Structure 1
Amino acid sequence: MTGSTYLAPYVNWRGQAREAMEFYASVLGGTLEVMTFADMGGVAAGVAEHEVAWVMHSALTVSDSVLLMGSDHPAHVPGEPKKAQISLSGDDEATLRRWWDGFAARADVVQPLDQAPWGDWFGSLDDHYGVHWMFNISGPRAAVG
């Protein structure tokens, strides 16, 4: 019996995790689970009072192969929140185009979704939460030569 492995991007914000993850759920669908710093002890655990309602951990389960996680980066944790580039790829054109349309409605489109030289449809955008998304819809391979 073999096991399975999957990639689950994890994105950090400073006070925007709930809003961002709820937006992603509205576009991607799935089930969103959210745990706040208050759920984990809040101020007693070292989190500032104004940050206890922030997201300590969230997970958006879209399917068996699509999982997106995120959290807020409280002030007492050193460093800045880490952003991410996330790629959504596959041959389910209807789903990927629906997701593209949902994100593009509230984003800065960097590369419009269009046929790429390699034969797929590709586009990229920066959402209003600072995350860069890349979409690749598999298509017939472009003729070489």
Structure 2
Amino acid sequence: MTTRLNPYLSFRDKAQEAMDFYHSVFGGELTRSTFGEYQMGDDTEKDKIMHSQLLTESGLCLMGADTPNEMEHTPGMNGSISISGGDEAELRGYWDKLRDGGVVSLPLEKAPWGDSFGMCIDKYGVNWLVNINGTPAA
């Protein structure tokens, strides 16, 4: 069995909306379970997302959940999610969708090392790095 590193995002009452957004960006299969399905939490949390997982045909995996009310939730994260590869059309498509409604920190353009690179924060406060393989700088 292959070992994988899977980003897991935490939200406050926005997991369903956010994961639907990422599904629209990356495609694939999105599954989710609510706290109510497992008789967890109180009645005010029964419809919140306990766990969701997005798996794409290209092997991407992104997980997310709502943070229960009794737990502290600090928006943002100490890091970024990086997507890289050689399929320029695919990666630019992700970039365009991720930055829509968000903030571009660094435009997606040719970088000194020869790749195209950009950074943005999506409308849910998640930091994204997109790197498209290019020709190494001379």
Mapped pair 1:68 → 2:62: yes
Q: Residue type of the partner of 2:11?
A: W
Mapped pair 1:120 → 2:115: yes
> TM-score w.r.t. structure 1 length?
0.88
From 47, 51, 70, the equivalent of 2:45 is 51
Q: Extract structure 1 runs of 4+ deviating beyond 3 A.
A: 81-84
Output the aligned Cα RMSD.
Answer: 1.4
- State the shift of 1:82 in Å: 6.4
Encode CA deviations 1:19-59: one digit per residue, 9 max, x unaligned. 00000000111110010001110xxx3x2322211100000
Q: Secondary structure at the match of 2:18?
A: helix
Q: Secondary structure at the match of 2:81?
A: strand
2:73 aligns to what? 80
> TM-score w.r.t. structure 2 length?
0.92
State percent identity of aligned pairs: 43
Contact 2:100 2:122 in 1 (8 A): no
Mapped pair 1:98 → 2:93: yes
Q: Distance in 2 between matches of 1:12 and 1:83?
A: 9
| Bigger mean CA offset, 58-67 vs 80-89 | 80-89
Contact 1:12 1:70 in 2 (8 A): yes
Give ranges in structure 2 of 5+ residues lacking alignment: none
Q: Secondary structure at the match of 2:65?
A: strand
Say how many residue pairs are matched. 136
Q: Residue type of the partner of 1:104?
A: R
Q: Secondary structure at the match of 2:118?
A: strand
Q: Secondary structure at the match of 1:21?
A: helix
